[in-house]
Amino acid sequence: MNAGGQEKRVIDGRFELLGRLGAGGMGMVWRARDLALHREVALKEVRPPDPALLAADPAAARTLRERVLREARALARIDHPGVVTIHHIVDAAEIAHPWIVMELVQGQSLQERLAVGLLTPGEAAALGRGVLGALRAAHAAGIHHRDVKPANVLLRPDGRPVLTDFGIAALQGTTGLTATGELIGSPEYIAPERIRGDEGRTASDLWSLGMLLYVSVEGAHPLRRTTPLATLAAVLDEEIPRPVRSGPLGPVVMALLDRNPDARPEAAELDRLLAAIPEKPGFGPAAPDTVAAPLPPTLVTSPPPAYGYPPT
């Protein structure tokens, strides 16, 4: 019992829930304390967007659960500083939904960072390389993120990006819609081929990365409209205005936003293009056995919040 007489909730006899961090289409995220290892973690209860529908279809519920666990186990095998670390899975017959135990990333999201001010082309290029490294590690493990956007990129205190929320993206169906027609994820960051039902391309994540870079430097999304359906239509067909603030990053961004996925630069070429753009300190992993450069003044915020998976 706590001082207020309320019993604290403990998951699996080990993880004490301390408070909510956020909620999204596929679950609730909590800040929690690992009572065995005496450290704070992020705990995500992975639940479907329409529990009533799955309750009426036990086979679909089992498939969903198995997919959650398979993706979590695959992510747990990825050892990359730009991918959020999964520590543990809680899954038992008496628990309604699986829980995923993750590292608690101390820092702010890119979305919060952009609310303070835009990135320079060099800062965005370095950020892009960090996110690209995380995507390449995931792709090598057979995982496509499918929801790369500023809210799903966390920035450690030294500025290095961490890509989160693979679970929401991995649980999407082949059309990106639930059985009730509800869109999972953010329409403005979905690649056009995915809207048309062409799944399974690593290039789709690179489109989303290109849109993230566009927004980070230009300060506005070129295809966001007043409704999700209007946004999807714009992603499919409307002309993308050329960046005006992106300098040498502009041609790279526009190459990523080619509606033909086969025409987009592949990951290795993209990394080379981003590396050629002059950087400023503050983003990207430090070189081995070195200390990461401090954040430039424009990137300093205090105090930074802590997150595991951000709300989506």
**Is 206 found in the same domain as 99?**
no
CATH number where 154 lies: 1.10.510.10
**Is 38 found in the same domain as 123?**
no
**Residue 298 above 60 pLDDT?**
no
Residues 109-137 as b/e (b if ≥16 CB within 10 A, e otherwise) read bbbbbbeeebbbbbbbbbbbbbbbbbbbb
Higher pLDDT, 62 or 234: 234
At 134 the pLDDT is 96
Q: Which of 7, 55, 46 is nearest to 27 (CA)?
A: 46
Higher pLDDT, 7 or 45: 45
**Is 167 found in the same domain as 19?**
no
Q: Is residue 310 part of a domain?
A: no
**Is 164 found in the same domain as 96?**
no
At 107 the pLDDT is 85
Told to judge if 12 belongs to the known catalytic residues of this protein, a careful annotator would answer: no
**Residue 95 above 50 pLDDT?**
yes
Question: Within 10 Å of residue 243's Cβ, how many Cβ atoms?
Answer: 20
Higher pLDDT, 94 or 100: 100
DSSP secondary structure code for residue 16 in this structure: E
Higher pLDDT, 164 or 309: 164
Q: How far apart are CA 294 and CA 276, in angstroms?
A: 21
pLDDT band at 297 (very low <50, low <70, confident <90, very high): very low
At 240 the pLDDT is 97
Helix (H, G, I), strand (E, B) or coil at 18: strand
Q: Point out the catalytic residue in the list 12, 50, 147, 165.
A: 147
Contact by Cβ (8 Å): 243, 249: yes
At 311 the pLDDT is 42
Q: Is residue 306 part of a domain?
A: no
Contact by Cβ (8 Å): 214, 223: no
At 227 the pLDDT is 94
At 169 the pLDDT is 45
Q: How far apart are CA 217 and CA 114, in angstroms?
A: 9
Helix (H, G, I), strand (E, B) or coil at 19: strand
Cis peptide bond N-terminal to 58, omega within 30? no
Name the average pLDDT for the chain: 81
CATH number where 14 lies: 3.30.200.20
**Is 268 found in the same domain as 162?**
yes
Q: 44 - beta bridge partners?
A: 29, 100
Sign of the CA dihedral with 295 first, then 296, 298, and 301 last: positive
pLDDT band at 6 (very low <50, low <70, confident <90, very high): low
Least confident of 1-5, 96-100, 182-186, 216-220: 1-5
Amino acid at 234: A
Picking from 49, 79, 103, the residue at the C-terminal end of a domain is 103
Higher pLDDT, 39 or 56: 39
Q: Which of 302, 195, 304, 172 is nearest to 259 (CA)?
A: 195
Per-residue pLDDT tens for 138-191?
A: 998 888 888 899 999 999 998 999 998 875 444 333 333 343 444 455 899 999
Q: Which of 129, 60, 67 is nearest to 279 (CA)?
A: 129
Q: How far apart are CA 140 and CA 118, in angstroms?
A: 31
**Residue 306 above 90 pLDDT?**
no
**Is 173 found in the same domain as 242?**
yes
CA 202 to chain centroid: 15
Q: Is residue 4 part of a domain?
A: no
Q: Is residue 186 part of a domain?
A: yes
**Residue 283 above 70 pLDDT?**
no
Q: Is residue 308 part of a domain?
A: no
**Is 128 found in the same domain as 79?**
no
What would the two tokens of residue 234 be? Answer: 């714009």
Range of the domain at 229: 108-301
At 26 the pLDDT is 66
At 309 the pLDDT is 43
Query: What's the structural domain count of the chain?
Result: 2
Q: Is residue 307 part of a domain?
A: no
Q: How far apart are CA 262 and CA 32, in angstroms?
A: 43
**Is 171 found in the same domain as 27?**
no
At 183 the pLDDT is 46
Which segment, 96-110, 189-203, 259-273, 275-289, is predicted with the most confidence on average?
Answer: 259-273
Q: Which of 2, 80, 48, 39 is nearest to 182 (CA)?
A: 48
Q: Is residue 78 part of a domain?
A: yes
Contact by Cβ (8 Å): 127, 99: no
Q: Please state the φ and ψ torsions of residue 103, each to the nearest 5 degrees.
A: -65, 145
